[in-house]
Structure 1
Amino acid sequence: MNEIIELLNYSFFQNAMGAAILASISCGIIGTYIVARRIVFISGGITHASFGGIGIAWFLGLNPILGATVFGVLSALGIECISKKTDVRQDSVIGILWALGMALGIIFIYLTPGYAPNLLSYLFGSILTVSSLDLYLLSALCVLTILIFAFMMRPILYMAFDEDYAQTHDTPVQFLNYLMIALVALAIVLNIRVVGIILVISFLTIPQTIANMFTQDFSKMIFGAIGFGILGSLFGLFMAYKLNVPSGATIIFSFVILFIIAKLIQLSLLKLKRKAS
């Protein structure tokens, strides 16, 4: 307990905790849409495609997260546009951009003269090194996400569960598709510093899946996902510090442990209901 109190006095750990909470809020909201809409594979494609932006930005001497943001959003819009306006299947487009992004990232990083960056920090995250700028960006993402969902909850809900039904209720389906996929891309790239490229998709799906075990209500799922996200990310953060391992891996490991515990609780509740009936 004393060690935890001492850790809280360090600014780098305070920043890490702030990033974990902000990431849980943004991923909790957007991830609920991803799970309900069943577009986890699209999110995985955007995640890996964004690595191309990191490599290009590093080659040009720019901020890698800026490069990932531009490349990730363009990849997301490209997936949506090409799959809707051509006869190329969506999963094929995702696979192409997935592979292209990873390939471009590796090529440009190794073409850059001088010291190559530690790829593990981008692949698996480094939450203990987040800066004040990262916190501002994550805060802005949270505010933007909350505002969009607050003012457009009903059409987003229609889109998440039945796009055809949304069209019959005069929902701007095409606009919402582009808006939401761009928001998904922003959530992915801005959370790369927290859990990394490889593991960010789990941050967007596991807490939401846990919440979905106990409720089918979209709004309750959002709050549940945020709660499980904060609990798992903070526990994983302390574990990463204690074991001196990449924080992204320990955060996702914590999520999986929570998932197992939640599943056991769910099965126990089902058994009690069956006995009672």
Structure 2
Amino acid sequence: MIELLSYDFMIYAILAAILASFSASLLSNYIVLKKMEFIGEGAAHTAFGGIALAILLDLNIDLISIITAILFGMVIYFISKKEKVNENSVIGMLLSFSMALGVIFLYLKPGYTPELTSYLFGDILMVNADDVKILSIVSITILLFIILFNKELKYYSYNPRMAKNFGVPINLINFIFLIIVSIVVVTSVKIIGIILVTSLLITPGVIGKLFAKSLNQMILISSLSGIFSGFFGIIIAYLFNIPPGPSIVVTLFSLFLISYLINYIKNKTFVKKHS
């Protein structure tokens, strides 16, 4: 373990994985409760179009990806705001549109684009100090957002219609939430990959829901699950020379299976005692 920490790229990769997993885990609770699982998939595949455009024009991939993420969140919010078009329908259309644009942009790019594979599945060697700084800022922003709007987010998750009656700015909360989710996705693709990043936005929240008796407990459990999977996923990826994204996802899903089994046995034992 000490030998791993002697390499700068491993330190960056571990920190990035922990921060990305932590950020996504915080948001996964609200995504699971509101049944918004599709948004992670949409944001990730929309990022593909932004990355492809940046590669075509030789622009800064990180900057273009973040701009694409913000536009994605804004378009979803404004089109679905009137409730005439379902939010998932907007996400589905944007997903296909961005993927189509991405394929066209890459087709127009002469030569082979090796960096694309890294973005699809994640690559430890792509992560640098700047990525860690960006992920740190994103993590702190999300944490502050959850702390400052804890009560409003609970209303947002459980009963948005009732929340409006209590004067909760649901539209503003929804707008900020969509933007933050999109940014988390595009800032995490280097470490987890476009295809697999959705797992971080769903699985930790599901694990938290299995054991938690309140939303705050759910947030704590999901965060620990994400951090654990991010850390050990990177270690396993390094030791077995496999891509970090799949390693983190397999570790996270294994943790879910263990959690599900524990919860099943606990509930069965409880029923037997009270029958």
Quote the offset at 1:119 in angstroms.
2.1
Aligned to 1:18: 15
Residue of structure 2 equivalent to 1:264 = 261
CA contact (8 A) 2:188 2:197 kept: yes
Task: Count residues with an aligned counterpart.
Answer: 274
2:30 to 21, 29, 33: 33
User: Are 2:243 and 1:212 equivalent residues in the alignment?
Assistant: no
TM-score by length of 2: 0.95
In the superposition, the TM-score normalised over structure 1's length comes to 0.94
Query: Structure 1: how far apart are the matches of 2:40 and 2:230?
Result: 20
> 63, 68, 71: which one pairs with 2:65?
68
Q: CA-to-partner distance for each residue in 1:104-158, whole Å, 9 max, x for gaps?
A: 1122123123442332211111134310000000001011111111111111111
**1:237-252 counterparts in 2 under 5 A?**
237-252=234-249
Secondary structure of 1:39's aligned partner: coil
Alpha-carbon distance in structure 1 between the residues aligned to 2:88 and 2:25: 25
Asked whether 1:46 is paired with 2:43, we answer yes
Structure 1 residue ranges without an equivalent (≥5)? none
CA distance in 2, matches of 1:91, 1:37: 12
- Rounded to whole Å, the distance in 1 between the matches of 2:243 and 2:22 is 21
RMSD: 1.5
1:38 aligned counterpart, secondary structure? coil
In the other structure, the counterpart of 2:166 is: 169
Quote the offset at 1:259 in angstroms: 0.8
The residue aligned with 1:225 is 222
Contact 1:127–1:248 at 8 Å: present in 2 too? no
Aligned residue identity for 1:209: V
| Distance in 1 between residues matched to 2:92 and 2:143, nearest whole Å | 31
**Is the 8 Å Cα contact of residues 69 and 183 (structure 2) preserved in structure 1?**
yes
When residues 111 and 128 of structure 1 are mapped into structure 2, their CA distance, relative to the original with a 3 A threshold, is same
Cα deviation per residue 1:44-77 (whole Å; 9 max; x = unaligned)?
A: 1122111111111122211212212111221121
Extract unaligned runs of 5+ from structure 2. none
Instruction: Find out whether 1:143 has 2:129 as its counterpart.
Output: no
AA of the residue aligned to 1:246: P
Q: What do the CA deviations read for 1:16-37 (whole angstroms, capped 9, x no partner)? A: 1111221122112112121122
Deviates more, 1:122-131 or 1:210-219: 122-131
